[in-house]
Amino acid sequence: MSYVLGIPRYANVAPLYHFLEEGDGIAFRYGVPTQLNQWLLEGSVDLSLVSSYFYLKNADRLRPLPDFSIADLGPVYSVNLFHRKPWEALRRLAITTESATSVELLRYLLRADGVRAELFPEQGGLELLERYDGVLLIGDRAITTYCSLLSVIPESVHQVPSELEGVRITDLSMKWFERTRLPFVFAVWTTRKNAPPPPEIVRRLRQARSLGLGNLAAVAGSEAQRLGVPERLMQHYLWNFRYHLEVPDRLGLQAFAQAVGLPYPNDYWDV
Ligand SMILES: C=C(O[C@@H]1C=C(C(=O)O)C=C[C@H]1O)C(=O)O
């Protein structure tokens, strides 16, 4: 029987699995983070990238690998609140149903600034701005939405616009950085506590990550094609991530646990 890996099909995950071969004891199951979170708890996947918030909330049953993350320091470019009114004036927001972490991050950032907005789960894109003050999008959808507003690809990271065609783009990871000066961890590879990860699988995951990061241009090329966005933009997007859950990332995760009032277990598989 194959060992089942839960994978969000987002461009930011591609450097981890692009060079991982299915078969030979490994099967993939794709889903959005909110689905994968449930599948892991239920047992229909064995090892999955799960939303960091979901992990923290279910830390009595889950344990992550020690050295894998989808994290970043500063802007992430794909966890965006699109809005017309200023941040302080936001009252009714549509939120993605794909993510647990980003929604809790948004809740925290609003609360920290004393902004009293109500959040409503919705599926859709910028058309929701007709009915809401803002729309939270993540992953590929946030990237393609950003690109649809962008007329020129910025030459420098300092030229990435935060407002396009009257729509403001608030990058939640950047807002987190301004507050904490720490990385933000969106997801971790996690198993159930009663089912340790086979070392051979972890070895293959590490090897795939090395190949993915070492050949980022190839990964970016195939993801750019899949999403229909410029390759140069995809490369910049991908080189921005932190995939190793290093000490600064762990400190970021600890600060996030504190921000949302959950304990930080600091307990990883020794593998
Ligand atoms: C930063 C992102 O990372 C993703 C965000 C997740 C979440 O918010 O639950 C889960 C997995 C990550 O791949 C993104 O897709 O925009």
Rounded distance from Cα 9 to ligand 1 centre (Å): 10
Rounded distance from Cα 98 to ligand 1 centre (Å): 9
Inside any domain, residue 269: no
233: containing domain: 3-71+183-259
Q: Are residues 109 and 232 in the same domain?
A: no
Q: Are residues 187 and 174 in the same domain?
A: no
Alpha-helical segments (H) within the chain: 14-17, 33-42, 52-57, 101-112, 139-149, 172-180, 199-214, 216-227, 231-239, 247-259
Q: What interface predicted TM-score (ipTM) does this complex get?
A: 0.96
State residue 107's pLDDT score.
Answer: 97
Q: State which of 155, 180, 205 marks the end of a domain.
A: 180
Inside any domain, residue 152: yes
Please give the backbone phi and psi of residue 165, each rounded to the nearest 5 degrees, phi first. Answer: 50, 40
CB hemisphere CA count around 235 (13 angstroms) = 12
Residue closest by Cα to atom 2 of ligand 1 = 139
Q: State which of 153, 180, 207 marks the end of a domain.
A: 180
Q: Are residues 62 and 12 in the same domain?
A: yes
Q: Taking the CB of residue 147, how many other CB atoms lie within 10 A of it?
A: 15
Instruction: Kindly compute the dihedral angle of the four CA atoms of residues 17, 22, 25, 28, in this order, to the nearest 10 degrees.
Output: 70
Q: Are residues 176 and 96 in the same domain?
A: yes
Please give the backbone phi and psi of residue 270, each rounded to the nearest 5 degrees, phi first. Answer: -90, 85
Q: Are residues 159 and 83 in the same domain?
A: yes
Task: Quote the CA–CA distance of 150 and 264 in Å, as a whole number.
Answer: 39
Given a cut of 90, whether residue 36 has pLDDT beyond it is: yes
Binned at pLDDT 50, 70 and 90, residue 99 comes out as confident
**Nearest alpha-carbon partner for 19 in 204, 235, 203, 237:** 204
- Please give the full DSSP string across 180-203, using - where no structure is assigned: HSS-EEEEEEEEETTSPPPHHHHH
Residue closest by Cα to atom 5 of ligand 1 = 186
Inside any domain, residue 11: yes
Q: Are residues 206 and 122 in the same domain?
A: no
Q: Are residues 176 and 205 in the same domain?
A: no
pLDDT tens-digit map of 208-248 = 999 999 999 999 999 999 999 999 999 999 999 999 999 99
Rounded distance from Cα 230 to ligand 1 centre (Å): 21
Residue closest by Cα to atom 15 of ligand 1 = 139
Inside any domain, residue 137: yes
Inside any domain, residue 101: yes
- pTM, to two decimals: 0.96
Rounded distance from Cα 159 to ligand 1 centre (Å): 24
> Which CATH number is 187's domain given?
3.40.190.10
Given a cut of 90, whether residue 28 has pLDDT beyond it is: yes
Q: State which of 180, 213, 242 marks the end of a domain.
A: 180
Given a cut of 90, whether residue 156 has pLDDT beyond it is: no
**Ligand 1: which of 102, 177, 188, 260 to mutate, most ligand atoms within 8 Å of CB?**
102
pLDDT, mean of residues 68-83 = 97
Rounded distance from Cα 51 to ligand 1 centre (Å): 7
Q: Are residues 196 and 161 in the same domain?
A: no
Inside any domain, residue 267: no
Enter the tokens of residue 105: 């991050």
State residue 152's pLDDT score.
Answer: 85
Task: Quote the CA–CA distance of 96 and 17 in Å, as a whole number.
Answer: 24
Q: Give the list of residues 6+ apart from residue 261 with CB closer than 8 angstroms, or none.
A: none
Q: Are residues 196 and 138 in the same domain?
A: no
State residue 214's pLDDT score.
Answer: 98
Inside any domain, residue 26: yes
Task: Quote the CA–CA distance of 66 and 244 in Å, as a whole number.
Answer: 8
Q: What is the maximum span of the chain, computed from C-alpha positions, in angstroms? A: 54
Task: Quote the CA–CA distance of 271 and 71 in Å, as a whole number.
Answer: 20
Q: Taking the CB of residue 26, how many other CB atoms lie within 10 A of it?
A: 19
Rounded distance from Cα 267 to ligand 1 centre (Å): 22
Q: Are residues 158 and 84 in the same domain?
A: yes
Domains contained in the chain, number: 2
pLDDT, mean of residues 186-197 = 97
Inside any domain, residue 206: yes
Q: Are residues 47 and 85 in the same domain?
A: no
Q: Are residues 48 and 85 in the same domain?
A: no
Given a cut of 90, whether residue 192 has pLDDT beyond it is: yes
Q: Which residues have C-beta atoms less than 6 Å from ligand 1?
A: 8, 10, 12-13, 33, 49, 51, 70, 76, 78-79, 99-102, 138-139, 142, 186-187
